[in-house]
Protein backbone atom coordinates (compact mmCIF):
# COMPACT_ATOMS: atom_id res chain seq x y z
CA UNK A 1 0.00 0.00 0.00
CA UNK A 2 1.54 3.38 -1.00
CA UNK A 3 2.09 5.99 1.70
CA UNK A 4 -0.18 9.05 1.65
CA UNK A 5 2.24 12.01 1.92
CA UNK A 6 -0.50 14.48 2.86
CA UNK A 7 -1.68 12.47 5.86
CA UNK A 8 1.92 11.81 6.85
CA UNK A 9 2.64 15.56 6.76
CA UNK A 10 -0.33 16.41 8.94
CA UNK A 11 0.59 13.58 11.28
CA UNK A 12 4.05 15.06 11.79
CA UNK A 13 2.54 18.53 12.16
CA UNK A 14 0.22 17.25 14.88
CA UNK A 15 3.19 15.60 16.61
CA UNK A 16 5.16 18.84 16.84
CA UNK A 17 2.03 20.76 17.81
CA UNK A 18 1.48 18.37 20.71
CA UNK A 19 5.08 18.92 21.79
CA UNK A 20 4.53 22.70 21.88
CA UNK A 21 1.29 22.26 23.84
CA UNK A 22 3.05 20.06 26.39
CA UNK A 23 5.78 22.67 26.76
CA UNK A 24 3.14 25.33 27.42
CA UNK A 25 1.51 23.10 30.02
CA UNK A 26 4.89 22.61 31.67
CA UNK A 27 5.35 26.36 31.99
CA UNK A 28 1.95 26.74 33.66
CA UNK A 29 2.65 23.80 35.96
CA UNK A 30 5.95 25.46 36.90
CA UNK A 31 4.09 28.67 37.77
CA UNK A 32 1.70 26.77 40.03
CA UNK A 33 4.51 24.79 41.62
CA UNK A 34 6.63 27.86 42.31
CA UNK A 35 3.69 29.60 44.00
CA UNK A 36 2.58 26.54 45.94
CA UNK A 37 3.09 25.95 49.62
CA UNK A 38 3.99 22.88 51.55
CA UNK A 39 1.26 20.53 52.61
CA UNK A 40 -0.63 21.51 55.72
CA UNK A 41 -2.18 19.08 58.09
CA UNK A 42 -5.87 18.39 58.02
CA UNK A 43 -8.30 20.40 60.12
CA UNK A 44 -6.66 21.11 63.47
CA UNK A 45 -8.73 20.70 66.62
CA UNK A 46 -9.69 23.92 68.36
CA UNK A 47 -10.46 24.44 72.01
CA UNK A 48 -13.99 25.28 72.97
CA UNK A 49 -14.81 26.60 76.42
CA UNK A 50 -17.85 25.13 78.13
CA UNK A 51 -19.36 25.28 81.56
CA UNK A 52 -19.60 22.17 83.62
CA UNK A 53 -18.33 20.57 86.78
CA UNK A 54 -18.16 23.88 88.60
CA UNK A 55 -15.68 25.41 86.24
CA UNK A 56 -14.54 25.83 82.68
CA UNK A 57 -13.58 22.67 80.85
CA UNK A 58 -11.82 22.39 77.53
CA UNK A 59 -13.31 20.35 74.76
CA UNK A 60 -11.89 19.89 71.30
CA UNK A 61 -13.72 19.66 68.05
CA UNK A 62 -12.59 19.84 64.43
CA UNK A 63 -12.18 23.31 63.04
CA UNK A 64 -14.97 24.62 60.91
CA UNK A 65 -14.19 24.28 57.19
CA UNK A 66 -13.07 27.64 55.86
CA UNK A 67 -15.18 29.49 53.38
CA UNK A 68 -14.17 28.74 49.83
CA UNK A 69 -11.70 31.38 48.76
CA UNK A 70 -11.49 32.60 45.19
CA UNK A 71 -9.01 30.71 43.07
CA UNK A 72 -5.55 32.19 43.00
CA UNK A 73 -3.62 32.85 39.82
CA UNK A 74 -1.38 29.87 40.48
CA UNK A 75 -4.37 27.55 40.90
CA UNK A 76 -5.88 28.83 37.68
CA UNK A 77 -2.54 28.26 35.98
CA UNK A 78 -2.54 24.67 37.23
CA UNK A 79 -6.05 24.02 35.98
CA UNK A 80 -5.24 25.47 32.57
CA UNK A 81 -2.11 23.34 32.50
CA UNK A 82 -4.21 20.21 32.98
CA UNK A 83 -6.54 21.31 30.19
CA UNK A 84 -3.56 21.92 27.91
CA UNK A 85 -2.17 18.51 28.81
CA UNK A 86 -5.47 16.93 27.76
CA UNK A 87 -5.43 18.95 24.55
CA UNK A 88 -1.86 17.87 23.87
CA UNK A 89 -2.82 14.23 24.38
CA UNK A 90 -5.70 14.60 21.91
CA UNK A 91 -3.43 16.20 19.31
CA UNK A 92 -0.75 13.58 19.85
CA UNK A 93 -3.33 10.82 19.49
CA UNK A 94 -4.40 12.42 16.22
CA UNK A 95 -0.77 12.43 15.06
CA UNK A 96 -0.48 8.68 15.63
CA UNK A 97 -3.82 8.08 13.94
CA UNK A 98 -2.80 10.11 10.89
CA UNK A 99 0.56 8.34 10.73
CA UNK A 100 -1.20 4.97 10.79
CA UNK A 101 -3.69 5.99 8.10
CA UNK A 102 -0.90 7.40 5.94
CA UNK A 103 1.11 4.17 6.03
CA UNK A 104 -1.87 1.79 6.19
CA UNK A 105 -0.67 0.04 9.35
CA UNK A 106 -0.50 0.34 13.12
CA UNK A 107 1.31 3.56 14.08
CA UNK A 108 4.13 2.03 16.12
CA UNK A 109 6.34 0.41 13.50
CA UNK A 110 9.57 2.27 14.30
CA UNK A 111 11.31 3.97 17.22
CA UNK A 112 9.82 7.39 16.40
CA UNK A 113 6.27 6.10 16.55
CA UNK A 114 6.86 3.70 19.44
CA UNK A 115 8.34 6.46 21.61
CA UNK A 116 5.42 8.74 20.77
CA UNK A 117 2.97 5.99 21.74
CA UNK A 118 4.71 5.47 25.09
CA UNK A 119 4.55 9.19 25.85
CA UNK A 120 0.87 9.35 24.92
CA UNK A 121 0.08 6.49 27.30
CA UNK A 122 2.07 8.20 30.07
CA UNK A 123 0.12 11.43 29.64
CA UNK A 124 -3.24 9.65 29.52
CA UNK A 125 -2.32 7.61 32.61
CA UNK A 126 -1.41 10.82 34.43
CA UNK A 127 -4.72 12.44 33.48
CA UNK A 128 -6.58 9.35 34.71
CA UNK A 129 -4.74 9.60 38.04
CA UNK A 130 -5.81 13.23 38.41
CA UNK A 131 -9.40 12.37 37.54
CA UNK A 132 -9.59 9.54 40.08
CA UNK A 133 -7.92 11.52 42.88
CA UNK A 134 -10.05 14.63 42.91
CA UNK A 135 -9.81 15.06 46.67
CA UNK A 136 -6.04 15.41 46.42
CA UNK A 137 -5.98 17.08 43.03
CA UNK A 138 -4.37 20.40 44.12
CA UNK A 139 -1.38 18.53 45.61
CA UNK A 140 -1.13 15.90 42.91
CA UNK A 141 -1.51 18.46 40.15
CA UNK A 142 1.85 19.92 41.11
CA UNK A 143 3.45 16.71 39.90
CA UNK A 144 2.42 17.59 36.36
CA UNK A 145 5.70 19.37 35.64
CA UNK A 146 7.68 16.29 36.69
CA UNK A 147 5.55 13.92 34.60
CA UNK A 148 5.67 16.14 31.52
CA UNK A 149 9.42 16.73 31.73
CA UNK A 150 10.47 13.19 30.65
CA UNK A 151 7.59 13.14 28.16
CA UNK A 152 8.83 16.34 26.50
CA UNK A 153 12.42 15.06 26.47
CA UNK A 154 11.39 11.76 24.89
CA UNK A 155 9.21 13.48 22.31
CA UNK A 156 12.03 15.86 21.42
CA UNK A 157 14.37 12.92 20.88
CA UNK A 158 11.69 11.12 18.88
CA UNK A 159 11.10 14.12 16.64
CA UNK A 160 14.81 14.74 16.01
CA UNK A 161 17.20 11.82 16.55
CA UNK A 162 14.67 9.01 16.13
CA UNK A 163 12.50 10.51 13.40
CA UNK A 164 11.59 8.23 10.49
CA UNK A 165 9.47 8.90 7.42
CA UNK A 166 6.12 7.15 7.17
CA UNK A 167 6.61 3.84 5.37
CA UNK A 168 5.05 0.37 5.20
CA UNK A 169 6.14 -2.22 7.73
CA UNK A 170 9.23 -4.21 6.93
CA UNK A 171 8.54 -7.95 6.39
CA UNK A 172 9.83 -8.96 9.82
CA UNK A 173 7.20 -6.76 11.50
CA UNK A 174 4.35 -7.44 9.10
CA UNK A 175 2.28 -9.57 11.45
CA UNK A 176 -0.91 -9.16 13.43
CA UNK A 177 1.20 -9.74 16.55
CA UNK A 178 2.57 -6.22 16.28
CA UNK A 179 -0.86 -4.88 17.19
CA UNK A 180 -0.93 -7.13 20.28
CA UNK A 181 2.63 -7.38 21.54
CA UNK A 182 3.90 -3.86 20.81
CA UNK A 183 0.71 -2.17 22.03
CA UNK A 184 1.00 -4.04 25.34
CA UNK A 185 4.65 -3.03 25.65
CA UNK A 186 3.89 0.64 24.93
CA UNK A 187 0.96 0.76 27.36
CA UNK A 188 2.96 -0.83 30.17
CA UNK A 189 6.00 1.38 29.48
CA UNK A 190 3.92 4.56 29.55
CA UNK A 191 2.27 3.70 32.86
CA UNK A 192 5.60 2.67 34.38
CA UNK A 193 7.00 6.07 33.42
CA UNK A 194 4.49 7.65 35.81
CA UNK A 195 5.39 5.10 38.48
CA UNK A 196 9.10 5.83 38.10
CA UNK A 197 8.56 9.57 38.44
CA UNK A 198 6.44 9.03 41.56
CA UNK A 199 9.09 6.84 43.20
CA UNK A 200 11.85 9.35 42.44
CA UNK A 201 9.81 12.18 43.95
CA UNK A 202 8.99 9.98 46.93
CA UNK A 203 12.70 9.70 47.72
CA UNK A 204 13.06 13.47 47.39
CA UNK A 205 10.10 14.00 49.68
CA UNK A 206 11.18 11.65 52.48
CA UNK A 207 14.65 13.19 52.42
CA UNK A 208 13.15 16.66 52.79
CA UNK A 209 10.91 15.52 55.63
CA UNK A 210 14.03 14.70 57.64
CA UNK A 211 15.39 18.23 57.18
CA UNK A 212 14.30 21.59 58.53
CA UNK A 213 11.63 23.21 56.33
CA UNK A 214 13.92 26.13 55.53
CA UNK A 215 16.27 23.74 53.71
CA UNK A 216 13.59 21.92 51.73
CA UNK A 217 11.12 24.51 50.47
CA UNK A 218 11.03 23.09 46.96
CA UNK A 219 10.54 19.49 48.04
CA UNK A 220 7.99 20.55 50.66
CA UNK A 221 5.65 21.60 47.85
CA UNK A 222 5.35 18.00 46.75
CA UNK A 223 2.46 15.87 47.99
CA UNK A 224 3.10 13.82 51.11
CA UNK A 225 5.37 10.79 50.92
CA UNK A 226 2.43 8.48 51.55
CA UNK A 227 0.59 9.87 48.52
CA UNK A 228 3.65 9.49 46.29
CA UNK A 229 4.35 5.96 47.51
CA UNK A 230 0.74 4.95 46.92
CA UNK A 231 0.77 6.47 43.43
CA UNK A 232 3.94 4.59 42.48
CA UNK A 233 2.59 1.30 43.82
CA UNK A 234 -0.86 1.49 42.26
CA UNK A 235 0.41 2.46 38.81
CA UNK A 236 2.95 -0.37 38.92
CA UNK A 237 0.24 -2.82 39.94
CA UNK A 238 -1.74 -1.81 36.85
CA UNK A 239 1.25 -1.93 34.49
CA UNK A 240 2.89 -5.15 35.67
CA UNK A 241 0.28 -7.61 34.32
CA UNK A 242 0.25 -5.71 31.02
CA UNK A 243 4.04 -5.99 30.80
CA UNK A 244 3.73 -9.71 31.66
CA UNK A 245 1.24 -10.11 28.82
CA UNK A 246 3.64 -8.27 26.50
CA UNK A 247 6.52 -10.60 27.38
CA UNK A 248 4.34 -13.68 26.83
CA UNK A 249 2.97 -12.49 23.49
CA UNK A 250 6.48 -11.55 22.43
CA UNK A 251 7.57 -15.13 23.03
CA UNK A 252 4.61 -16.44 21.03
CA UNK A 253 5.43 -14.07 18.17
CA UNK A 254 9.09 -15.18 18.29
CA UNK A 255 8.03 -18.80 17.91
CA UNK A 256 5.88 -17.92 14.90
CA UNK A 257 8.63 -15.79 13.29
CA UNK A 258 11.87 -17.59 14.25
CA UNK A 259 10.73 -21.04 15.33
CA UNK A 260 11.60 -20.69 19.03
CA UNK A 261 9.88 -19.07 22.00
CA UNK A 262 13.02 -17.74 23.63
CA UNK A 263 16.51 -17.19 22.26
CA UNK A 264 18.09 -14.85 24.83
CA UNK A 265 18.20 -12.05 22.30
CA UNK A 266 19.32 -8.77 24.01
CA UNK A 267 15.81 -7.32 23.76
CA UNK A 268 14.24 -10.44 25.23
CA UNK A 269 16.82 -10.65 28.00
CA UNK A 270 16.46 -7.04 29.14
CA UNK A 271 12.66 -7.27 28.95
CA UNK A 272 12.85 -10.28 31.28
CA UNK A 273 15.22 -8.41 33.60
CA UNK A 274 12.72 -5.54 33.77
CA UNK A 275 9.95 -8.02 34.60
CA UNK A 276 12.03 -9.53 37.40
CA UNK A 277 12.88 -6.10 38.86
CA UNK A 278 9.23 -5.03 38.94
CA UNK A 279 8.24 -8.37 40.44
CA UNK A 280 10.81 -7.72 43.15
CA UNK A 281 9.35 -4.25 43.71
CA UNK A 282 5.84 -5.61 44.21
CA UNK A 283 7.20 -8.27 46.55
CA UNK A 284 9.18 -5.64 48.46
CA UNK A 285 6.06 -3.51 48.89
CA UNK A 286 4.39 -6.52 50.51
CA UNK A 287 7.32 -7.06 52.88
CA UNK A 288 7.41 -4.79 55.93
CA UNK A 289 11.19 -4.48 56.07
CA UNK A 290 11.46 -3.38 52.45
CA UNK A 291 8.72 -0.80 52.22
CA UNK A 292 9.55 2.83 51.77
CA UNK A 293 12.88 3.96 50.37
CA UNK A 294 14.19 0.47 49.59
CA UNK A 295 11.22 -0.48 47.45
CA UNK A 296 11.27 2.96 45.77
CA UNK A 297 14.87 2.40 44.71
CA UNK A 298 13.86 -0.94 43.19
CA UNK A 299 11.08 0.78 41.24
CA UNK A 300 13.51 3.38 39.95
CA UNK A 301 15.90 0.60 38.93
CA UNK A 302 13.07 -1.00 36.98
CA UNK A 303 12.36 2.25 35.19
CA UNK A 304 16.07 2.59 34.40
CA UNK A 305 16.05 -0.88 32.86
CA UNK A 306 13.03 0.11 30.75
CA UNK A 307 14.83 3.21 29.44
CA UNK A 308 17.94 1.11 28.75
CA UNK A 309 15.79 -1.37 26.85
CA UNK A 310 14.10 1.38 24.86
CA UNK A 311 17.19 3.22 23.71
CA UNK A 312 20.48 1.37 24.25
CA UNK A 313 19.25 -2.10 23.30
CA UNK A 314 17.24 -0.88 20.30
CA UNK A 315 19.91 1.47 18.95
CA UNK A 316 23.35 0.29 20.08
CA UNK A 317 23.18 -3.49 20.61
CA UNK A 318 22.69 -5.62 17.50
CA UNK A 319 20.10 -8.36 17.76
CA UNK A 320 17.05 -9.89 16.13
CA UNK A 321 15.00 -6.90 17.25
CA UNK A 322 17.30 -4.34 15.58
CA UNK A 323 15.04 -3.67 12.64
CA UNK A 324 12.61 -1.03 13.84
CA UNK A 325 14.44 1.80 12.09
CA UNK A 326 15.32 5.28 13.32
Tens digits of residue pLDDT in 58-86: 434 444 544 455 567 778 888 999 999 99
CATH of the domain at 26: 1.20.120
User: Mapping DSSP to helix (H, G, I), strand (E, B) and coil, where does residue 10 land?
Assistant: helix
Higher local confidence (pLDDT), 203 or 218: 203
In a domain, 150, yes or no: yes
pLDDT at 299 over 50: yes
Of all residues in the chain, what percent carry a pLDDT higher than 70? 81
- Same domain? 268 vs 221: yes
Higher local confidence (pLDDT), 189 or 259: 189
Q: How confident is the model at residue 41 (pLDDT cuts 50, 70, 90)?
A: very low
For the entire predicted model, the pTM comes to: 0.84
Split into its structural domains, the chain has a count of 2
- Same domain? 157 vs 289: no
In a domain, 65, yes or no: no
pLDDT at 1 over 70: no
pLDDT at 219 over 90: no
Structural domain boundaries enclosing 308 = 187-326
Of all residues in the chain, what percent carry a pLDDT higher than 90? 50
In a domain, 181, yes or no: no
Q: Each residue of 238-274: pLDDT tens digit?
A: 999 999 999 999 999 888 878 888 878 888 889 999 9
pLDDT at 54 over 60: no
In a domain, 4, yes or no: yes
- Same domain? 126 vs 13: yes
Rounded CA separation 116/93 (Å): 9
- Same domain? 155 vs 238: no
H/E segment holding residue 49: strand 45-52
pLDDT of amino acid 276: 96
- Same domain? 14 vs 154: yes
pLDDT of amino acid 59: 37
Amino acid sequence: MPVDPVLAFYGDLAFYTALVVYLSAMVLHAIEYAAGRGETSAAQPVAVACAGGGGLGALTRPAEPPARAPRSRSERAGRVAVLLTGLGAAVQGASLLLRGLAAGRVPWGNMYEFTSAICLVAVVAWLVVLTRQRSGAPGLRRLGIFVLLPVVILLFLAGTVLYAEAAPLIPALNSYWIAIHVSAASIASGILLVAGVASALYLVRIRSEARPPARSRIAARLPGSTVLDRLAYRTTVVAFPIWTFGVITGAIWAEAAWGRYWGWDPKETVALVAWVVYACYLHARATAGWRGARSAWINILGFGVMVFNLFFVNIVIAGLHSYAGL
